[in-house]
Amino acid sequence: MFPASRYSIQAQRCIRALKTVQAEHAPPQHYTWRRNCSSAVMPRITSHYTIFPRDKDPRWEGVEMERFADEADVVIVGGGPAGLSAAIRLKQLAKEQEKELRVCLVEKASQIGAHTLSGACLEPSALNELFPDWKERGAPLNTPVTEDLFSILTEKYRIPVPMLPGLPMNNHGNYIVRLGHFVHWLGEQAEELGVEIYPGYAAAEVLFHEDGSVKGIATNDVGIAKDGSPKDVFERGMELHAKVTLFGEGCHGHLAKQLYRQFNLRENCEPQTYAIGLKELWVIDEKKWRPGRVEHSVGWPLNRNTYGGSFLYHLNEGEPLVALGFVVGLDYTNPYLSPFREFQRWKHHPFVAKTLEGGDRIAYGARALNEGGYQCLPKVTFPGGMLIGCSPGFMNVPKIKGTHTAMKSGMLAAEAIFPKVTAEDPASKTAGLHIPEYEDNLKKSWIWKELYAVRNIRPSFHNYFGLYGGMVYTGVFYWILRGKEPWTLKHAGLDSAQLKPAKECTPIEYPKPDGKLSFDLLSSVALSGTNHEGDQPPHLTLKDDSIPVANNLAIYDGPEQRFCPAGVYEYVPLETGEGMRLQINAQNCVHCKTCDIKDPSQNINWVVPEGSGGPAYNGL
């Protein structure tokens, strides 16, 4: 019934065969250009210390590795809606009950909001709970939704679908926001309440007590050269210890990935499934501007078996600005598919082009998002810490909203933590506090009810009729039964296992960008404002440098060249002339995490680069 799984078994056999070839890594100081496991002379790609530990590396002998450590009551990783809401709620409770609480928040972006990207139609439910007076405080919710359109697109035409009340996509009562600005505002509120916010410092390592509970985090080291050796300006990161550490890294966080393994948090849930969202901001012709209008579409240019769709929101913030974007489910099977190019060609559809004609593109960005919902929720508490926000993944997929649930999860975490962290005697079995009450609170909250009600909509797309089957299911079961049906459908499995080998698929002919509506990848990446310190080890680490050419290129024709929205991965001819090698342009990375998710060999491990590197989104 699922043809994809038949091919994924073949792919998995290939991966297993390659894994048995245990590569003996040449000691770093030789820096030879030869790998033992392949016959081609392949230049070394990965030099990060997570793959080549420094205690075995002679270049690091004698380097001072002591770290300065500091204590806080709560440390929060990630300055997004979840992390900031948790911090704010903790400080609000501290103020109410006149208790002292040190809350530290670290964020890898150079300023709060710079790595935030979302549509976004904000449902103000969680915000109303957090700050009932948000309007007086100047929260940037300036565009109430006035019109809601849904279409099925064909190559030339548009089939309107009525937006009946009760359908998950109905946006009455919501606001179109520039989430980066909203998050920046949340950051200001948090600082006013006394939260210590440290942007530009990434949490690079989870620290553990001797009893295995989480002790806190360590921020990234700085001053490591591209080949992995220490520079003159090398400085160790800092350790932040806490009674509880909250991890709000957003979709597919790299520390969360470690925690899932460490504490076996995913043993009773399905593997998470994702999508990639690409977004642009356009200043359009005033005559075409309809502030408050929300447009969504499905269908063209995707075929019925590839999940995805578009959004186009008219903002009302002074100038005629529209936020538009395209989402493609990462369970797609054709390795020739390029989400970026699907996005660019969608803009040429007559219904979309007429809004954008004569306009100017002013921003671009991309980020992965969760599609798994209820079935993919892991355990969210463990000794010493908890997961909040899109990291475990509370996004309501058919509504395409996750901000309100992320904020609520942060608030619930804060409410569960506060009594424990301020208690005289924490009464905990482990040094890091284990607070299972957070998970209980989640299950009793509206987040759980909401996610349960829509749990079957996304998996309903896995049928022969694809998109149309899914829409029928939504119309029949969701609209009538509200998710009360007694069964729970399953997803298709790991996204990385869904690709079919290239020889079984047809390459897609994408039109060339015309420079007015559609654009090429590199000029788009320039608009994201992304940059990283050049002389640092690439943060897109490969467990085995030889696998990209041997597996990804050989079997799947290098899908990472196509799914990366920033042009990080390129297969270039070897200098010797024969064969190809993978070139990683780490400086282009926009921190979307798609490669870590979709790599069919699961060989790419995204780790955090030096803090303040990455995109410079302004209100995206």
Q: Which residues bind other proteins (CB under 8 A)?
A: 68, 70, 110-111, 113-114, 180-181, 184, 198, 201, 219, 222-223, 232-233, 235, 237-238, 319, 362-363, 526-527, 529-531, 616, 618-619
Least separation in angstroms between CB 67 and other proteins: 9
Q: Which of 344, 447, 304, 342 is nearest to 389 (CA)?
A: 447
Of the pair 262, 523, the CB lying nearest other proteins is at 523
Burial, 213: exposed, middle or buried (Cβ in 10 Å; 0-12, 13-18, 19+)?
A: buried
Shortest Cβ distance from residue 282 to other proteins (Å)? 12
CA–CA gap between residue 290 and residue 314 (Å, rounded):
6
Return d(Cα 265, Cα 381) in angstroms, integer: 8
Closer to other proteins by Cβ: residue 218 or 584: 218
Helix, coil or strand: residue 199: strand
| Contact of 87 with 95, CB cutoff 8 Å | no
The nearer residue to other proteins, 116 or 174, going by C-beta atoms, is 116
Please, which residue, 234 or 479, has the CB nearer to other proteins? Answer: 234
Question: Taking the complex as a whole, how short is the minimal distance between the CB of residue 236 and other proteins, in angstroms?
Answer: 8
Cβ of residue 362: shortest distance to other proteins, in angstroms? 6
* Helix residue ranges per DSSP H, 111-267: 125-130, 179-192, 254-263
Q: Are 79 and 46 in contact (CB under 8 A)?
A: no
Question: By C-beta, is 232 or 267 nearer to other proteins?
Answer: 232
Q: Which residues contact 298 (CB under 8 A, 6 or more apart)?
A: 151, 152, 153, 308, 309, 310, 467, 471
Is 160 in contact with 150 (CB distance < 8 Å)? yes
**Catalytically active residues, by annotation:** 118, 367, 403, 564, 589, 592, 595
Which of these, 111, 411, 27, lies nearest to 248 by C-alpha position? 411
Minimum distance between the CB of residue 8 and other proteins, rounded to whole angstroms? 40
Q: Could you tell me which of 188, 148, 186 has the C-alpha nearest to residue 313?
A: 148
Nearer to other proteins (CB atom), residue 110 or residue 463: 110
How many CB atoms are closer than 10 A to CB 92?
18
Q: Residue 310 CB, nearest distance to other proteins (Å)?
A: 23
Helix and strand totals (H; E) in the chain = 16, 26
